[in-house]
């Protein structure tokens, strides 16, 4: 008879232990790791570049401002030169950061909502709901995500909204499987049993007990999803399925591929921006995994 009260009294402290551990000095642990420090600095620099694009380059990045094929450092006003239409490459990279990050962030938000929601519901409730969500997940995983996104964008008119939706709809299954595994583990924990004994509803248990303790892999996966979304958008734009009315890194690389042999810088410079962004997010993900690891040293 005394087992239930002791469990319910001890488990709230156990429930608060992990969030407190993660919240206490996690950023300090993040920047102490080389990957976390480099990833954080690079990611912050890219975000600042995207935020300052309209102030540094207030003109339309798709406007022709100089003679075509102006090489880097040939004109101080255009330090990275111009493309085949006379557009400022540096302005395109700054504004391209806004477009690429906006598409990647929207697609990641869609993937996180679908993946976390499906994984939590399937893992916690089990039964027919879990089987149904698992079958949908398997269906989406039978087709390579890029080909799936390519088919969606090819059917509808390419735009920022449709590209974001296509990438988001094809990126959630891996996150759903990860969250489902965490939910399956947590629903049999003493913390959840104590909440059930205290009369908590399923929704409250999922929101207060299961989700906070499953957030570590979600946060790490989110940075990787953003990096993957940037790569996917760039690949779609390279194939001519980008939004032609928006300056994005993928559109710039796609436009420059036709003159790659003679004017390499037109495609290479925005390609380097993509490389740095993806590298930064992957390093940030590695740093987050180390900083949020409950077994890491303080």
Please state the pTM of the whole predicted model: 0.83
Beta carbons within 10 angstroms of residue 134's beta carbon: 17
- DSSP string computed for 101-133: HHHHHHHHHHHHHHHHHHHHHHHHH-HHHHHHH
Residue 223, classed as helix, strand or coil, is: helix
Cα radius of gyration (the chain): 23
Cα angle value 226/231/235 (rounded, 5°): 145
Alpha carbon of 66 to those of 87, 88, 198, 247, 267: distances in Å? Answer: 7, 8, 71, 17, 18
> How high is the pLDDT of residue 268?
94
Annotated domain spans of the chain: 26-58+89-291
* Chain centroid, CA 152 distance in Å: 20
CATH assignment of 26-58+89-291? Answer: 1.10.3720.10
Which pLDDT value is given to residue 30?
Answer: 84
Residues 6+ apart with CB under 8 A from 46: 97, 101, 276, 277, 280
List the chain pLDDT tens, one digit each, 298 residues: 333 333 333 333 333 334 444 445 777 888 888 898 999 999 999 999 999 999 999 989 999 988 999 999 988 889 999 999 999 999 999 999 999 999 999 999 999 999 999 999 999 898 899 999 999 999 888 888 899 999 999 888 888 999 999 999 999 999 999 999 989 888 888 888 888 888 888 888 888 888 888 888 888 889 899 999 999 999 998 888 888 888 899 999 988 888 888 899 999 999 999 999 999 999 999 988 888 765 554 4
What pairs with residue 78 in β-bridges? 75
Structure tokens at 36: 């976390």
CA angle 291, 118, 210 (to 5 degrees): 50
């Amino acid at each position: 008879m005394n087992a239930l009260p002791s469990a319910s009294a001890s488990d709230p402290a156990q429930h608060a232990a992990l969030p407190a551990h993660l919240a206490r000095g996690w950023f300090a642990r993040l920047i102490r790791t080389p990957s976390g420090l480099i990833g954080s600095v690079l990611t912050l620099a890219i975000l600042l570049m995207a935020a300052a694009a309209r102030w540094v380059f207030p003109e339309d990045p798709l406007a022709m401002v100089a003679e075509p094929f102006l090489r880097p450092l040939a004109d101080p006003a255009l330090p990275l030169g111009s493309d085949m239409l006379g557009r400022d490459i540096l302005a395109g990279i700054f504004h391209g950061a806004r477009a690429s990050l906006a598409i990647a962030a929207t697609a990641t938000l869609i993937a996180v909502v679908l993946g976390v929601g499906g994984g939590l519901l399937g893992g916690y409730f089990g039964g027919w709901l879990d089987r149904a969500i698992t079958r949908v997940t398997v269906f989406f995983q039978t087709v390579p995500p890029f080909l799936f996104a390519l088919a969606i964008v090819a059917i509808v008119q390419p735009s920022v909204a449709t590209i974001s939706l296509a990438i988001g709809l094809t990126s959630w299954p891996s996150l759903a499987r990860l969250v489902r595994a965490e939910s399956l583990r947590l629903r049999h924990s003493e913390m959840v049993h104590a909440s059930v004994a205290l009369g908590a509803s399923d929704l409250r248990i999922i929101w207060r007990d299961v989700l906070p303790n499953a957030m570590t892999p979600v946060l790490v996966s989110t940075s990787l999803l953003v990096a993957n979304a940037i790569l996917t958008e760039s690949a779609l734009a390279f194939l001519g399925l980008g939004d032609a009315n928006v300056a994005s890194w993928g559109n710039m690389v796609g436009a420059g591929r036709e003159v790659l042999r003679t004017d390499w810088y037109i495609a290479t410079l925005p390609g380097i921006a993509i490389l740095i962004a993806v590298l930064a997010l992957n390093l940030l993900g590695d740093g987050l995994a180390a900083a949020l690891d409950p077994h890491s040293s303080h």
